[in-house]
Structure formats: C-alpha cells, structure tokens
Amino acid sequence: MFPAKPVPIDSAHRDEAIDVSHARIRAATRNLPFYVTHVTHAGMIGRALDLAFRTEQFSALDLIAKDLDENSDPRVLERAAQFFSNNQQDHKAVQLLAYAKMYNEAVALIARKNVMMTDELDTLLTPAKTEKSGISNVDRIKLLDEIARCCLQQGNYHFAAKKFTQAGNKLEAMRALLKSGDTAKIVLFANTARSKDIYKMAGNYLQTLNWKDDAELMRQVENFYLKANAMDLLASFYEACAQVEIDDYRDYEKGIAAYGEALRCLSRKNDEKESESRAAYYADRKDRLGEIVEKIKQFLAAKKLYETDPGESLRQLTQMSQEENIDDIVRLGDIFSITIVHNVKRSNYRKAWQIIEQCEQRRPKIDMRHYLTANILNQICDEIGVPRLGAQDNSDEENDEGEKTIEYSHAMKRIAHDDNNDD
C-alpha cells in the first residue's frame, strides 16, 4: 500500500497556521516569569536559569538573580555572570563572580569593562584573612593590589589608596592620595603612616600649594621634613622661603634668616653613605649659600650706613651693583631705589630720572615701579617735565615700610633657637 499523499495547503491556510503557532509561543512566554518564579522558589534555580537562558528572558533572569548569593551553586553563579556580562550588565556580573569567590575573574572583568568600584563591590571583593575559601595571604595581597590598580585607571584614587593600604603597600597608597589632591587626607595619612619616605612625599606635595600665604602649611612642610630627617629638602624649602621674602616683600632681614636656616640644615646633614659626587654637591651648595648670606649682609650694612655716612653708603652700593650676577642675590632695583631716593631728597631730579632711564634700558629691564612709590615717581616726572609712568598695581602698599610679611612658623623659630643654644 502506498503512503497517503500529503494534502496541499494553500498560502492562506499556511499563514493562519503560523500565526497560531506564534500566538502559542507568545502566550507561553508571557507566563514564563511566573513559571520561573515558581521553579526558583521550589529550589530548582539551575532549571529556572536554564529555561531563562534558552528563551533570553531578561526579566526572568532578574528574578532569579535576586535569589542568588554567596551560598548559591558556584557553577550557576558563573553561568549567570557570563549571561549578564554578555548583555551589558557588567556590574551584576562582577557581583555574581564575587559571590562565587571567583575574585580574579571578577577583577579581570572590572578592568576589561571598566566597571566602576562601589562600596558593595569593594566589600564583596575583599576576602577576610581568615576566610574559609582557602585563599592564601599572598594571593589575597595580589588581589587587593590588582583591585587598587583598577581603581587607579578609573581615577578612583580614594578607593585605590584604601586597597593599597589593605595590601600593605603604603607608598602606592600615598601616591594614589597625591593624585586625588585631597590635602586633608594626605596629611592625615602621612601622620599615621610613620614612614620617612611618605613624610617626604607629603612635604613635597604641600610645597605645590599656596604655602606662601598660609603659615599653617609652612609649619606642616617643616614638620614633615623634620620627621623624615630630610635636611636637604628642608634646606631647599628655607631657600624658597628666603626668595619669597626678598622677591615678594623686599624683606632682606627675614630673607637672610631663612638662608641661614638653609645653611644650618645642610651643615647638619652628615651622611657617611653619601657618594663622593653627592657629597661634593652638598659642599658646593653650602658654599653658595654662604656667599648669598655674605652678600646680603653687605647690602644691609651699606643700607644702614646711609644713616650716618650717605656718601660711603652710596659708593658701596654702586660698587655692589657692578658685580657680576649680583641681581641673583640682591635685586638691583633695591640698590638703585636707594640712590634715586637720595637724589630726590637733594632735589637732583634729573639725576634721579637718568637712573630710572638706565634701569629701563637694561636687559632684562628693571621696572622701578616695583621698588618706588607712585608719589616719588610722580614727583620726579613732574619736576623734569616728562609724562608720569603708568600705574603699578599695589605699588604703594607693597613698598611701604612695615608691610605685613610671612612670619616664620614655630618650627623654624625652634630650629634657630636650638642652633643658637648649640653654638
């Protein structure tokens, strides 16, 4: 007997059959979340997960994920993590890998997909030292270090510092904090770390801030370098203080005091382990500081001499102004300002103006508006009949005697006091 021939179906009936089939699938799919929830609550998470995978039901997967935790089957957690990662839900994937104690895979995913670190992930990815998972202390430290470097790449410097600290790497933790620019936390960490290298790093960082106008910052810089016994760095800081006093405030008395402190710091530095070239460098530096101190003393002495012997004072100042590179130590504008004021007092306005013109023609130019008050400059210009010089902002206030200057901190004064007692 021959088999029955199939009954041909016209296109209209075929489309109707397809529609019915799709309708059944949609109906089954609509009921899937309820079915998955029922199966999940029955403890058949693996079966529910498999069903949700095959049908790609994201809402059902979300329902399943809510019931997954550290006690779930690691194989189920890994499979769910893979699915969530493939569907751009990387944060959830990292969480599931952490539940499965697949820490290395979780950190690799964070690095690959730039998953932002949160407090929750931080807790999940930080195994306790006594955890029963069997992770060794060496592996734990390596894991924490990898997490910290992921945080660095994200610019999450506070988390990075935290993880480096947990890994016992305080230097890297400090470097991360320095990148954050959080001064309060940098100072706090440096004070608690009790490391000479970290003290130096903190002192160097604070010098990048506006310490010139902040006496507290100055004290902190000094204290950190003292704790680190970094006499060379402290000497450099005192040199910077001296330059501020001279350049910004024209206070040579405080400038020479700061240079003196720098010289004392270098004199205290006596490290037999220093290389020969390094020792020679410090010796040259001390000689240079000694020369600076002597030149400033000469300037101050000549300036004071003007009160009793103006002629000899001006002769010494003129001779000093002709020395090579003297402007690196004593500003030529400060020397010439004394000569100009001397001529104004004697109504020698044309001579005073000639000195101003010579300063203008020098290379580099010396702008006497930085060194003389507007009243004196205007008087000279008016007397010889030339246009007044343009206004210089704050020239009157900045050049008045008794203008406020930065006071040395208690730490600096204490050093000076101790040195005097030693002498």
DSSP string, 246-300: HHHH--HHHHHHHHHHHHHHHHH---TTS-HHHHHHHHHHHHHHHHHHHHHHHHH
pLDDT value of residue 284: 94
403-421 pLDDT tens trace:
433 444 444 444 444 444 5
390 pLDDT more than 80: no
Structure-model confidence comparison of residues 57 and 177, the more confident one: 177
pLDDT value of residue 133: 58
305 pLDDT more than 80: yes
- Please report which confidence band the pLDDT of residue 62 belongs to, taking 50, 70 and 90 as the band edges: confident
pLDDT value of residue 404: 39
Using DSSP, state whether 140 is helix, strand or coil: helix
pLDDT value of residue 43: 46
pLDDT value of residue 68: 87
- Among 3-12, 113-122, 209-218, 355-364, name the one with the lowest average pLDDT: 3-12
Q: Among residues of the chain, what percentage have pLDDT more than 90?
A: 65
Say if residue 364 is preceded by a cis peptide, omega within 30 of 0.
yes
Q: What is the mean pLDDT of residues 216-240?
A: 96
Structure token digits, residue 120: 């929750």
pLDDT value of residue 132: 63
pLDDT value of residue 392: 58
Handedness of CA 97, 98, 103, 106 (dihedral sign): positive
Whole-number Cα distances in Å, 366 to 126, 269, 295, 362: 63, 38, 20, 7
Handedness of CA 248, 252, 257, 259 (dihedral sign): positive
The closest of 54, 128, 134, 65 to 96, measured between CA atoms, is 65
The pTM of this model reads: 0.77
44 pLDDT more than 70: no
pLDDT value of residue 86: 86
pLDDT value of residue 329: 96
306-361 pLDDT tens trace:
999 999 999 999 999 999 999 999 999 999 999 999 999 999 999 999 999 999 99
pLDDT value of residue 17: 42
- Among 29-38, 219-228, 300-309, 341-350, name the one with the lowest average pLDDT: 29-38
On average, the pLDDT of the chain sits at 84
Structure-model confidence comparison of residues 118 and 132, the more confident one: 118
Q: What is the mean pLDDT of residues 260-288?
A: 85
32 pLDDT more than 60: no
**Cα 195–Cα 200–Cα 202 angle in degrees, nearest 5:** 95
